[in-house]
Amino acid sequence: MSSITNTITPATEAARKAPPPSDVRRHNLAGWLFATPWVVIFVVFMAFPIIASLILSFTDFGIANLQDPFNLHFIGLQNYGRLAHDQLFLTAALNTIIVVVIGVPLNVGLALLIAIGVNRGVRYVRAIFRVGYYLPVVTSIVAIAVVWRFLLDPDAGLVDNLLRLVGLHGPNWLGDPSLALPSVIFVVIWRNVGYAMVILLAGLQGVDPTLYEAAHIDGAGAFARFRYVTIPMMRPVLLFVTVITSIGFLQVFQEPYVMTQGGPLNRTLTISQYLIQQGFDFFNQGYASAMAYVLFLAIVILTLVQFRLLRPQT
């Protein structure tokens, strides 16, 4: 065939404008063949459980159903009604809300300040700070929770020992009911601030430097430049970081699980923790599913609200 000797461009140009029927069939078949492995796993291990969980939340699914999954009773909204009166769930919900309401602004604000500071540094200093602040993000939360539990120990811990060196009597950070949740929030931020910082740093580097120069020439001080240049230009990045951080903080589990097991007096019990207790210690799995959907709904609502409040204004 002589078409082989033709230059490639005209042939492909024609192909893109009007694909011959055989081409359409080829793309359809190949497309779905390539998609199949991922889609099969997705349907079986993701889509099916998401739907099943919603159905289970309207049933009394319990330990007996592990053997006999289909012998269950639909009980309408009873699980959801029970949540509204479950003192432990309300405590867990309140704790989780505190983690989000206090933790997210602190985390994002701190990350922004660090990012601005690091961004002013010279090249290699910037690299050192970026690596250092990002280090906790890559490490296992269980491992860092073990380390912090030790550091915060009232007898052997470094923090109270350092306080002792200067003559202070340090508190029992994780054992004191009024300090336990703030301590957990501190560790959560310590572990997550680097992630937000690196994204915000990338955002800062995308801000047109001539805007700062113009503001500088116009006599804007550091705060005015921050308020009228950095914040408006960074709005989309800030929105992204706030949404991602909120979704993560709403699901806080490993830090309290390892450091306090939800105590003292349930002051650090979170929704995820209580959900796993109900679902896998007591096998109240219908009830746990209802809790999971409440959490899911909270995530969706919070995300939508943040998009409304923080979206770039036109």
Map the footprint of other proteins across residues 13-52, applying CB under 8 A. Answer: 15-16, 19, 24, 26-35, 37-39, 41-42, 44-46, 48-50, 52
Read off the tokens for 185. Answer: 């929030």
Of the listed pieces 91-99, 101-109, 171-179, 220-228, which binds other proteins according to CB under 8 A? Answer: 220-228
Residue 74 within binding range of other proteins, rule CB under 8 A: no
Residue 70 within binding range of other proteins, rule CB under 8 A: no
Cβ 243 to other proteins, closest distance in Å?
Answer: 9
Beta partners for residue 59, in sequence order: 74
* Cα–Cα dist 190/194, whole Å: 8
* Cα–Cα dist 247/43, whole Å: 23
Alpha helical stretches, state H, the chain:
8-17, 21-42, 48-56, 78-85, 87-120, 123-138, 141-151, 158-165, 180-205, 209-217, 222-225, 231-250, 254-259, 271-276, 285-310
Site for other proteins in 198-217 (CB under 8 A): 198-199, 202, 213, 215-217
Closest-CA residue to 133 (of 120, 114, 113, 146): 114
Read off the tokens for 247. Answer: 């979704």
Site for other proteins in 258-297 (CB under 8 A): 258, 261, 272, 275-276, 279-280, 285, 288-289, 292-293, 295-296
Measured from the CB atom, is 98 or 299 closer to other proteins?
299
Among residues 5, 76, 87, 156, the one that binds other proteins under rule CB under 8 A: 156
Among residues 179, 207, 220, 310, the one that binds other proteins under rule CB under 8 A: 220
Cβ 74 to other proteins, closest distance in Å?
Answer: 16
Q: Are 108 and 188 in contact (CB under 8 A)?
A: no
Cα→Cα distances 154→94, 171, 172, 218, Å: 27, 7, 5, 54
Read off the tokens for 243. Answer: 């949404």
Phi, psi torsion values for 207, nearest 5 degrees: -75, 130
Measured from the CB atom, is 84 or 217 closer to other proteins?
217
- Count of residues engaged in binding other proteins, rule: CB under 8 A: 111
Phi, psi torsion values for 59, nearest 5 degrees: -125, 175
Cβ 216 to other proteins, closest distance in Å?
Answer: 7
Residue 299 within binding range of other proteins, rule CB under 8 A: yes
Residue 95 within binding range of other proteins, rule CB under 8 A: no
Residue 305 within binding range of other proteins, rule CB under 8 A: no
Cβ 8 to other proteins, closest distance in Å?
Answer: 5
